[in-house]
Structure 1
Amino acid sequence: MSRDADYLQSILHHDIPLTRDMGLTVLDWHEQQLRLRLPLEANINHKSTMFGGSLYCGAVLAGWGWLHLRLKEEGIDDGHIVIQEGQISYPLPVTEDATAICPAPDAAVWKKFLTMYRRYGRARLTLNTRIVNAASDEDAVRFTGQYVLHR
């Protein structure tokens, strides 16, 4: 695990204790893409699949973690990240350990977000996360979240 991944996992486990109970781990932060691991055993439901609430939480946290690490890279540490809105779909059941993946938004979108924050002390960013079963690359969950950064 990279230093950034270790750092983010310690932040998540300290500031959001639920992440420890979920068994959530940070797999990696590479080329501005964040991957989190969600174990089935800690998040199983009565149908022997992953609980929808755990999947929602994992998707939100992948976006939150992505934004947290990118802001750190930009030297921005004076803001608070909150999820303002989220839309999720569950096209496939999660039947094994899962990976939540949050890639970078378009570079122009990121630049506009930074400009807005620096100018007004508040900015919104939409991030897309997907969750896949560990043995597949097929989307089991698709999430779009609007995150707000404010001073």
Structure 2
Amino acid sequence: MSQLSLFQKRVHDEIPLSRAMGIQLHSWDGHSLLLSAPLEPNSNHQGTGFGGSVYAAAVTTAWGVTELALWDLGLRATVVVQNGTIDYLEPVTSDFYVVCRLPGEEVPERFRKSLAKHGKGRLDLTAEVFCGQPTAAPEGDPVAVFQGRFVVRDVKSRVSL
């Protein structure tokens, strides 16, 4: 089973809402995570994306980037969102997807040093939400933008995902 398949199972097992939302992980290339969700179970009374679902998909993507980056570093830890905000720029009118990238396409050196020295750290991430077919290289503007800070603590060497 691939790393992404194992992580997909973990997301559904540990975040039951993700299964109900129909969240699917599509790709992780070491710096960018692509996740999608269908509109139908995530719609509101107007037939557009429910704000809570859009937020949940975005925060799940950013949390996933943090978890997968730690995995790639050979670490496991407790990862929680410390704070997060989202700007809804346009209605979500179809199935949607979220792209979140590590800042500068890599784990920041300051974050690495904090993990090594203190066994904890903070990572600020941005996740962008788009309508349509999932792609890691969207061409249009996002319909929503999430910004959040994730706290990593209790860092240990990885034993299993």
Query: Which category describes the TM-score, using the shorter chain as reference length?
Result: over 0.9
How many equivalent pairs are there?
A: 149
Unaligned runs of 5+ in 1: none
Distance of 1:107 and 1:7 partners within structure 2: 23
> What do residues 44-102 of structure 1 show as CA deviations (whole Å, max 9, x unaligned)?
1101001000011111000000111111010011x100000001100011000001100
What does residue 116 of structure 1 align with? 114
What code does the residue aligned with 1:144 have? Q
Unaligned runs of 5+ in 2: 134-138, 155-161
What code does the residue aligned with 1:84 have? Q
Cα displacement (A) at 1:108 = 7.6
What does residue 64 of structure 1 align with? 63
1:146 aligns with 2:149: yes
What code does the residue aligned with 2:144 have? V
Distance of 2:17 and 2:75 partners within structure 1: 26
Question: Residues 67-146 of structure 1: matches in 2 within 5 Å?
Answer: 67-77=66-76, 79-106=77-104, 110-134=108-132, 137-146=140-149
User: What's the TM-score, normalizing by structure 2?
Assistant: 0.87
RMSD: 1.6
Identity over aligned pairs, percent: 34
Q: 1:123 to 1:4 in 2, by over 3 A?
A: same
What does residue 28 of structure 1 align with? 27
Distance of 2:31 and 2:71 partners within structure 1: 12
Give secondary structure in 2 for the equivalent of 1:106.
helix
What code does the residue aligned with 2:87 have? S
User: What's the TM-score, normalizing by structure 1?
Assistant: 0.93
